[in-house]
Amino acid sequence: MPTTCTISNATVVKKAGLMRPLKGFALALIATMGCTSYAHALTQEEIESRGYISVATEDDYRPFEFMENGKSTGYDNELKDLVEKETGLELRQEILPWAGILPGVTSGKFDMALSAVMVTEERKKSFDYATPMAASTTYYGMKKGSDIKEPKDLIGKTVGAETGSAFLAELKAFDEKLKAEHGEGVGKIVEYHGYPEAYQDLAFGRIDAVVNTDLTLRALVEERGDMFVLGKAIGEPGYKAWAVKKGNSAVLEMVNDALLKIRESGEMYRLQEKWLGASFEDMPLDVN
């Protein structure tokens, strides 16, 4: 795939209170942000001849996709296995931090984001989505014993979210809503390269709340109910779906046909119950 790359200075968001190296993130930026691909979108015949679809998956976003005992697991990864069986194609996977996934798809490095991508109107300008694989609403979570009881109690608080995420955008929109209704908003918004770091800061009291999808926060509370509690919604209900670069119709059609068969068979809903604790049979077939 002919590609030209330029690397320029970039602003990196600091992970509050942490000293862990950012090698993986930096490499993801270099590999995706500064590259322009000149390859055309592959046809179905070309994909079948090649034998695989290249996909990018996050490495630590429970219960959707995460590493356990050196192996990729979670809802998205089990769904991936079913799609491979339906299509007869390998979904050739690269595991990397969230910040590199969508840029990697738009640059042509990957055919698809096999990740729990939140569907938003802004993202629809750049991406097309497969049939949704989960319903989702943006919530906040906090440490047990917190004095945050209602969404308006986030006024003056320090709140974290993942950089580049739809949840960060919803948090900023909610902040503006608080200012319009109450004359003041969130005290400080802290951005993180990954949610594990945000949860760590929440546990240590460095921040007061974390904003994420209700599904992931419920999984966090289920695992660490001694430490964390689920708050309330600050966003409107939406959907999560795998994403391709806008116009990449062959990949979208092949993956979408497989997912629709998996939905029709009930296997998708079985996996939702297993990993998400609920099934979403009323989801629309198309969210584009």
Number of domains in the chain: 2
Cα of 286 vs its chain's centroid, Å: 19
Judge if 158 and 219 occupy the same domain.
yes
Judge if 124 and 151 occupy the same domain.
no
- Does residue 16 lie in a domain region? no
Judge if 28 and 55 occupy the same domain.
yes
Q: Mind listing the pLDDT tens digit for each residue in 250-286?
A: 999 999 999 999 999 999 999 999 999 999 999 999 9
- Does residue 288 lie in a domain region? no
Helices (H), the chain: 23-32, 44-50, 75-87, 101-107, 166-182, 195-203, 214-223, 249-265, 267-276
Could you tell me the two tokens for 281? 């049979």
DSSP string for residues in 129-182: EPSPSEEE-EEEEEETT-S--SGGGGBT-EEEEETTSHHHHHHHHHHHHHHHHH
DSSP reduced 3-state for 125: helix
- Does residue 100 lie in a domain region? yes
Q: Which of 13-27, 87-101, 103-117, 168-182 has the lowest mean pLDDT?
A: 13-27
pLDDT of 35 > 70? The answer is: no
Calculate the average pLDDT of the chain.
87
Nearest to 237 by CA among 217, 259, 213, 271: 213
- Does residue 1 lie in a domain region? no
Residue entry with tokens 């904003």: 211
Judge if 145 and 192 occupy the same domain.
yes
Which residues, including other chains, have CB under 8 Å from residue 8's CB and lie 6 or more apart? 34
- Does residue 286 lie in a domain region? no
Contact 133, 241 (CB under 8 A): yes
Judge if 65 and 77 occupy the same domain.
yes
Per-residue pLDDT, averaged over 177-193, amounts to 96
- Does residue 246 lie in a domain region? yes
| Global pTM value | 0.76
Domain span holding position 149: 138-233
Could you tell me the two tokens for 273? 């119950």
